[in-house]
Amino acid sequence: MKPRLFGTDGIRGRVGRHPITPDFMLRLGWAAGRVFANDGDGLVLIGKDTRISGYMFESALEAGLSAAGADVRLLGPTPTPAVAYLTQTHRADAGIVISASHNPYYDNGVKFFTRDGGKLSGEAEVAIELALERPLQAVASDRIGKVQRMNDAAGRYIEFCKSTLPRRTMLEGLRLVVDCAHGAAYQIAPSVFEELGAEVVPIGVSPDGLNINDGYGAVNPGRMRQAVLDHRADAGIALDGDGDRLIMVDARGAVLDGDDLLFVIAEDRMRRGVLEGGVVGTLMTNLGLEESLGERGIVFERANVGDRQVLERLRSKGWQLGGETSGHIVCLDQNTTGDGIIAALQVLFAVVDRGKALAELRRGFRKYPQCIENVRIHSPANAIIESPAVQRAVRDAEAVLGSGGRVLLRVSGTEALVRVMVEGAVADQVNDLAGRIALAVEQVAGAAGTGATQPIEAERHGA
């Protein structure tokens, strides 16, 4: 069987629509408790980001887990990678994160970590879905799970993040803009960099339940970029709402995505002789990264899109470093999942250790111009992609690009989007071709009688 509710990163959707409802979360907590807590004997941690619905869903999950006999520790607003770390070190049976990551406040979701801090297997997801089909029945009163708050969760994670740098390594002399997207890391991230000696200019640190990811953070780096220029900072650090993505800006205002940062970390580790194996990217990773790493003798492999796919490939190869263009960067020698704060520390260590500015460390990476058009749709995405009109637009683009570029269409696993990616040698040509394919997608979706798509959103990378 394949899971029906679980997507590429847990269960996610619009608050108030199935399955992101209080009654479903109650049942989900009970089902997870049955699977993880061995019918009434276990411990589950719950963390969340700062969106307003998190309090409602925290209470529902807590009730369901207790009814299944599982003890619960509430972490409060906590980055996703912190929940993974604390689940492992606290020897819990599972960790739960209430978050929709980079999505707006009106979305929410749930993702799980196993006792070793890893993502759930497909088998575990199916087991939870099967348990959801059973009648909810609470354990006997003397076996109901106990609930407590873990008041030192933030402090434990701050110390862990600092410990990932070599002893006596400090960030003194660096001025950093730290953008927390009004999300889960709003208290933790500034503290980590300040305690390591950096001068920190915090932005996106005033959550109100509704402003998470709104104009700030890894998906909206413009304010961070301007703050870097205004404060003459050495670098900017932008996390997303749950703290597992990282986008940076150098002192000149150039935005560095996950591909840029992977290059900096990989080259630095190779220079120090500590790069274990190669680097894993995804189908969306810029072709320039593959070529730039190859010129340095670093093996590169592509996995399917999603940090879960990157993790699985890293583990199968016995490697440590991988990530996505979007900013999910995995350093398996430091944490069990993508971690924005730890990835930033790895980049800043290279800056401090080599005494070079971030722009200089990135200089050896020749990035191909790349355009990603995100088309919002309301009809079955696979049918749209496979339609004759869209496939004709793809073939036409591939004919223009020849062997010097590539086209990729994929369905988002977290939003109702078709992502159109075009990569090639000439930026204007790449942007034009991506726009043509996206227009074909939009027209097919509209012709399906599902209403007009929302405006196309474009991401452009490279020269």
* Residues known to be catalytic: 101
Q: 268: how many CB neighbours lie within 10 A of its CB?
A: 19
Please answer whether residues 418 and 441 qualify as being in contact, where contact means their C-beta atoms are separated by less than 8 angstroms.
Answer: yes
Which residue, among 262, 222, 34, has the nearest Cα to 135 in the 3D structure? 34
Which residue, among 396, 372, 371, 390, has the nearest Cα to 445 in the 3D structure? 390
Which residue, among 440, 402, 444, 443, has the nearest Cα to 423 in the 3D structure? 402
Please answer whether residues 253 and 90 qualify as being in contact, where contact means their C-beta atoms are separated by less than 8 angstroms.
Answer: no
In the block, residue with structure tokens 């978050």: 99
In the block, residue with structure tokens 């263009």: 325
Structure tokens at 206: 């005033």
Structure tokens at 187: 């208290």
